Amino acid sequence: MSSSRPFARISSMARLSVAATAAGVVAAALALPAVGGSGAALVASAEALNLRPRELTEPPLAQKSTVYDAEGNEIAQFYAQDRKVVPLERIAAVMRTAIVAIEDDRFYQHGAIDVEGTARALVKNLTSGGISQGGSSITQQYVKQVLLNAAGTDKDKNAALDASYARKLRELRHAMAVERKYTKDQILEKYLNIAYFGAGANGVEAAARRFFGVPAARLNLAQAATLAGAVQDPNATAPDRGATARELLLRRRNVVLDRMERLGRITRAQAQAAKATKLGYKGVKQANGCQDSRYPYFCEYVRHELLSDPAFGRTRRQREQAFSQGGLKVRTTLDPTAQRAAEAAIGKRVFAADRVLAAEALVEPGTGKIKAMAASRPFGGSARRGEISYNAVADTGHGGLIGFQPGSTFKTFTLITALKRGMKIDDGITAGAGYTAPGYATFTDCAGQNVGDPSWTVTNDEGSPGFKTLASGTWGSVNTFFMALQERVGLCATVQTARSLGIKRADGARLREVETFTLGVNESDPVTVATAYAAIAARGTYCPPMAITAVTGPDGQSAAYRPRCERVLDPQIADATAHILSGVFTHGTMRGVGGIGRPAAGKTGTTDGYASAWFAGFTPDLAGAVSVGDPRGSQRHKLTAVTIGGRYYGAVQGASLPGPIWKDTMMSALRGVAPARFTPVNLARFGAAGVDEHANEKSR
């Protein structure tokens, strides 16, 4: 046959070329019998060369992980590669037609090797003295992309892109195995999901959304031709690189349209109409990370939870890879209603431009589920815009810093310890205008070390001296009373009570077991304090903070997360504590603010010198803690003579700013939720009623 003569010339050239390696000879031999169209000859050649299919290891594609709130709404996504794997039926038919037309128009006719294309490439390569034309089928291109994506080092990546016959041969053997394993449609689906299209878009779904703001299922002819043209050289034609790259991409689009017309896939009129359209690149920004989340502080909490969970890898690097590439679906506890309530309450009283920072966490009693995390400052890295790049609502283990001293909110732990020691509601102590420890041994830490400081006198910021009961001393938040009470019940016992309720320092260091422990000198974060108060609302059941309810992998397998609760307080002691704290709204420091129209309990916190201010409180359904302080340094920048939210404050106390934020939050977050009552206190055990337990139900 006359058609055999050109290939005899090629064979001769191959023999004459000393530079042709053994791998080159193999590639030439593979191409030679293909010319006559004899499948039998190809098989015989393959067998003679011992060309056998070689299984291809196909690691899961890197996909974005998505975080959802409790109602299933997306709140954040994370990715190292912007990709969303979609089935072929969710890719527009015109996209499939376009990619096949320009990349491998005989894809559905040939086997693993497009012998005609390989022969053409061989002619070109031998005459050029190197690998200048690939002649790769879509299957071979898929193989190359798999090997490239699996490459863990630069050396491996270079090997996957090596311009040699040896690499080509490996690809061919892998392609044979792929063709044997999958149908043509399955291979095309895999290729469209792995291919890089430029502008940071991996896979056709991400490319369709990034380039045109539509899903792959809704691509039109011009858009499909654009994406099909981009895969040849996605870096050179990346439209986000400027006008030159866009012009190149436009030309490639038109090449694809011409090819589709020439193959009869579209009409001339369709091609001309598509060519007449503009490129239409939109560059739709794809959110990536907590800085792009609607709820960045909660997002940061979730991110740190996953990165510290060994279930996602033994090392942090493995966990980061699982999160940014694993295509996880993370369901969380965030309640959009509660979140909006916290944001609105903070935004009403503290402006983003204020130096002062307000932060709030809401936690569900009995589960520990974090329902909301909000702060007055935006999250991000721009100091000029007043952004902060740390988690203002959480501890260092969840992206936070050192937090603020919680002040008198810690007096609750001394109160609980007194009730545990058998004191009754109307038991009391005479408190003076100042308190000085009688000696160094007056207070001992849990290691038995003397930590009393007889050289320091504690005075009162609120309340008056005199005889105070557990109830009245708490309502008035009398410092000297609580110092004397802590002396009576023991510093270590108070510390142990706090620890049992999950109290720890925000910076991760050990709690400072000092004589002023009850006055809240250990810097804390709102999540930790809110969770401790939630345990009182749950009648002594402490549940660690919980942000994740389920994680589903790309394979559809799901792991559920459940509350890990334990009883840490006698329920009746918790009831008595709630009973006393409810009087804070009607008889104590919050009486000027009032209650929330349903049973509630809480405690204000104002630190020495007004360095920071807090309020922590709860209902049977929801607990919350609000902190206010200056992140530049609360001890250097006190909350005195400051303007916050457009209002001047001579001094910020727990009831003047954090308390109203908490009240507004609770009233909004619980709107539509039927009021629940606290379990009545056991008066036979704890003595006088102390307060009307329903008084704050009526107060506003």
Asked if residue 602 is part of any domain, the answer here is yes
Q: What is the C-alpha radius of gyration for the chain, rounded to an integer number of angstroms?
A: 35
Give the residues across from 336 on adjacent strands.
none
Closest CA to 679 of 601, 600, 596, 579: 579
616 token code pair: 């922590």
Quick one: pLDDT at residue 118?
Answer: 59
Handedness of CA 204, 205, 208, 210 (dihedral sign): negative
Residues 6+ apart with CB under 8 A from 315: none
Asked if residue 527 is part of any domain, the answer here is yes
Quick one: pLDDT at residue 27?
Answer: 45
| pLDDT tens-digit map of 14-66 | 332 322 333 443 444 344 333 334 344 444 444 445 578 889 988 888 889 99
Q: What is the value of pTM for the model shown?
A: 0.83
Q: How many CB atoms lie within 10 A of CB 384?
A: 5
Cβ atoms of 407 and 520 within 8 Å: the answer is yes
**Strands 623-629, 434-436: parallel, antiparallel or unpaired by DSSP?**
unpaired
How many whole angstroms separate alpha carbon 361 and alpha carbon 376? 12
Check whether 542 has a pLDDT greater than 70: yes
CA 28 from chain centre, in angstroms, equals 53
294 token code pair: 């609607």
Stretch (H or E) spanning 643: strand 640-644
Stretch (H or E) spanning 625: strand 623-629
Torsion of CA 584, 588, 593, 598, to 10 degrees: 30
Average pLDDT over residues 292-299: 95
Check whether 392 has a pLDDT greater than 80: yes
| pLDDT tens-digit map of 417-436 | 999 999 999 999 999 999 99
Check whether 165 has a pLDDT greater than 90: no
Whole-number Cα distances in Å, 332 to 76, 287, 378, 382: 11, 18, 21, 28
Residues 6+ apart with CB under 8 A from 382: none
Quick one: pLDDT at residue 113?
Answer: 65
Residue 416 — pLDDT band, cuts 50, 70, 90?
very high
Quick one: pLDDT at residue 445?
Answer: 96
Residues 6+ apart with CB under 8 A from 627: 358, 359, 360, 403, 404, 406, 524, 525, 526, 529, 612, 613, 614, 658
| pLDDT tens-digit map of 200-225 | 999 999 999 999 999 999 999 999 99
| pLDDT tens-digit map of 644-688 | 999 999 999 999 999 999 999 999 999 999 999 999 999 999 986
Mean pLDDT for the chain?
A: 87
Asked if residue 593 is part of any domain, the answer here is yes
Asked if residue 256 is part of any domain, the answer here is no
Asked if residue 530 is part of any domain, the answer here is yes
Cβ atoms of 584 and 474 within 8 Å: the answer is yes
Find where tokens 């000029």 sit.
384
Handedness of CA 30, 32, 37, 39 (dihedral sign): negative
Average pLDDT over residues 626-637: 92
Asked if residue 577 is part of any domain, the answer here is yes
Quick one: pLDDT at residue 17?
Answer: 33
Average pLDDT over residues 238-246: 95
Average pLDDT over residues 364-384: 93
Cβ atoms of 80 and 62 within 8 Å: the answer is yes
Whole-number Cα distances in Å, 603 to 25, 133, 413: 84, 76, 11
Asked if residue 127 is part of any domain, the answer here is no
Average pLDDT over residues 131-158: 76
Quick one: pLDDT at residue 578?
Answer: 97
Quick one: pLDDT at residue 163?
Answer: 66
| pLDDT tens-digit map of 325-365 | 889 999 999 999 999 999 999 999 999 999 999 999 999 99
Residue percentage of the chain with pLDDT more than 90: 72
260 token code pair: 């589709």
693 token code pair: 């337990």
How many whole angstroms separate alpha carbon 659 and alpha carbon 585? 10
Residues 6+ apart with CB under 8 A from 602: 533, 581, 584, 585, 590, 615, 616, 617, 618, 659, 662
Average pLDDT over residues 678-699: 68
Instruction: Tell me how long the chain is.
Output: 700
Question: Which range of residues forms the domain containing residue 658?
Answer: 407-544+564-683
Q: How many CB atoms lie within 10 A of CB 72?
A: 8
Between these two residues, 469 and 11, which has the higher pLDDT value?
469
Average pLDDT over residues 566-581: 97
Quick one: pLDDT at residue 536?
Answer: 98
Q: How many CB atoms lie within 10 A of CB 679?
A: 15
Average pLDDT over residues 585-610: 94
Residue percentage of the chain with pLDDT more than 70: 86
Asked if residue 61 is part of any domain, the answer here is no
Amino acid identity of residue 28, one-letter, is: A
Average pLDDT over residues 621-638: 93
Residue 699 — pLDDT band, cuts 50, 70, 90?
very low
For position 570, which CATH number holds? 3.40.710.10
- The total number of structural domains in the chain stands at 1
Query: Where is average pLDDT lowest: 56-70, 512-526, 576-590?
Result: 56-70
| pLDDT tens-digit map of 147-160 | 988 876 767 677 76
How many whole angstroms separate alpha carbon 51 and alpha carbon 28? 13
Query: Where is average pLDDT lowest: 73-77, 249-253, 460-464?
Result: 460-464
